Structure 1
């Protein structure tokens, strides 16, 4: 797997995916901070030490990370997560940043390069070259498309204004669907609530189902936020925690409960949409959601079993599923509590139920 190197700064000056004003601004900011970012924020093995605070340095960092993905190749979210987990523990923040700054774009559960610098004079190193088994590798057609500069190899870059407009549409859709139900909400309703007039909404989403899919992306992200990097690895649910002391396992599970309770309390309207409208979710989105839930539930079961070695397998399984039912119940009723108050109540009840 190719790691960032000092030579990346020179290659950055050759080719930049995208040519709009936003892309030019990104390139200038990235060029100016690239060397400093490599020296201060990456270790000798190419792992990110911390995310820079300054935006110009963040852009340079995201440009380096974007080079791990080959233009013209589409990746599943799991493949993106695997790649970013090799660089930094908080892969969810990295993935969001790559999308928000226009280095990656996503639709229908797939991600692709949409901005940033590309090595010139050589094929970019396949992301999966030294990656775990199952990592993505570009097809011959994709490589040929990059060399030809085919239109499909460089999808459009999302501008900051486009990101804000997209966020407004998703927020409006979440509220309307939560209030009226999916069937009673039309694209015109969503556009009007988001301040997007006429057919302009179709520049961001081609259908109401696509908007709903994006809403559920946020639900999936909220689940992933509560998963530790260890828990999100593909085989994490099959790993043993027998070496973890019961007190350590109980503390880790208590922290995970607090994070999850905080997440669902702050996103209770999204959770409400999920509970009531999940049957409208496209098949691929549904599979990804199930995969995320499986990782999370598997990790909690491991920790609970380690915290209570005297509990049977069935008791552990029943307790964990019951805990998630309790936590996700925020989507089934209106609570007058603030987010913080609701999170505290959910955390207290769940910890009591799991005895941690």
Structure 2
């Protein structure tokens, strides 16, 4: 949201958002090493060197994408849990939240899967910490439903569920041939819940 900003500040914020969006798309298509600053600038209508006005380098841009999405997941999952619903309803809401993320963030998922090693050490540590905290949100909720299952096994279930849902971007075009959004969400939701509760 860019309310309360001057026109210049709003334009800069909009350009940064565009750079993040286009960088995710290009990194997903070509890989981090296959994208130049000139490619990034061209994608948002500026020169390559003008990218430095927004990010110190290409690695910082990658960091902003992957740290940002990890924070978004943790914050969104935290809000779901904080709503205080019964564990069963909270699990359904977490699954719906993550399915929505996967279906709207295919490029970012592909970048995260392939380019984690390209992050700076500091950003990689931050991403890993945020990811662990996100998993623990799910573990707490699952523990409310599966008391007899050890926490380590619940973590395995959560990771497996994420893998199932996050694999969607790799096969989305083929998988969606003749499958509408509502049906796709229903399939992913049903499979995710089954994987967690099996």
TM-score for the superposition, normalised by structure 2: 0.83
> What aligned pairs does 1:108-119 form with structure 2 within 5 A after superposition?
none
For residues 101 and 187 of structure 1, the distance between their equivalents in structure 2, rounded to whole angstroms, comes to 29
Structure 1 pair 317/173, CA: closer, same or farther in 2 (3 Å)? closer
Structure 1 pair 330/221, CA: closer, same or farther in 2 (3 Å)? farther
Return the match for 2:97 from 256, 259, 266.
259
- Structure 2 unaligned blocks of 5 or more: none
Q: From the CA coordinates, give the structure whose radius of gyration is larger.
A: 1
Structure 1 pair 167/354, CA: closer, same or farther in 2 (3 Å)? same
Structure 1 pair 178/313, CA: closer, same or farther in 2 (3 Å)? closer
Partners of 1:222 and 1:263 within 8 A in 2: no
Which of the pair is proportionally richer in helix?
2
What RMSD over aligned residues (CA atoms) do the two structures have, in Å?
Answer: 2.8
Determine whether 1:187 maps to 2:25: no
Using the TM superposition, give the Cα deviation of residue 334 of structure 1 relative to its aligned residue in structure 2, in angstroms.
Answer: 3.1
2:196 aligned partner: 354
Return the match for 1:301 from 133, 139, 143.
139
Structure 1 pair 164/340, CA: closer, same or farther in 2 (3 Å)? farther
Return the match for 2:126 from 288, 300, 306.
288
For residues 280 and 165 of structure 1, the distance between their equivalents in structure 2, rounded to whole angstroms, comes to 23
Determine whether 1:276 maps to 2:109: no
Instruction: Name the SS of the counterpart of 1:300 in structure 2.
Output: helix
Using the TM superposition, give the Cα deviation of residue 196 of structure 1 relative to its aligned residue in structure 2, in angstroms.
Answer: 0.8
For residues 102 and 158 of structure 1, the distance between their equivalents in structure 2, rounded to whole angstroms, comes to 12
Determine whether 1:169 maps to 2:19: yes
For residues 157 and 25 of structure 2, the distance between their equivalents in structure 1, rounded to whole angstroms, comes to 32
2:86 aligned partner: 248
Q: After superposition, what is the alpha-carbon deviation per residue over 1:29-63, rounded to whole angstroms, capped at 9, x for unaligned?
A: xxxxxxxxxxxxxxxxxxxxxxxxxxxxxxxxxxx
Return the match for 1:316 from 154, 157, 163.
154
For residues 26 and 77 of structure 2, the distance between their equivalents in structure 1, rounded to whole angstroms, comes to 29
For residues 183 and 76 of structure 2, the distance between their equivalents in structure 1, rounded to whole angstroms, comes to 19
For residues 217 and 317 of structure 1, the distance between their equivalents in structure 2, rounded to whole angstroms, comes to 21
Partners of 1:249 and 1:304 within 8 A in 2: yes
For residues 18 and 126 of structure 2, the distance between their equivalents in structure 1, rounded to whole angstroms, comes to 24
Structure 1 pair 287/325, CA: closer, same or farther in 2 (3 Å)? same
- Structure 1 unaligned blocks of 5 or more: 1-96, 104-114, 116-156, 233-243
Greater RCO structure (CA 8 Å; 6+ sep): 2
Instruction: Name the SS of the counterpart of 1:205 in structure 2.
Output: coil
For residues 342 and 292 of structure 1, the distance between their equivalents in structure 2, rounded to whole angstroms, comes to 28
Aligned length: 192
For residues 225 and 343 of structure 1, the distance between their equivalents in structure 2, rounded to whole angstroms, comes to 22
Partners of 1:262 and 1:340 within 8 A in 2: no
Q: After superposition, what is the alpha-carbon deviation per residue over 1:154-207, rounded to whole angstroms, capped at 9, x for unaligned?
A: xxx971111111112112211111111111110001101111125322211221
For residues 225 and 340 of structure 1, the distance between their equivalents in structure 2, rounded to whole angstroms, comes to 25
Return the match for 1:334 from 156, 171, 184.
171
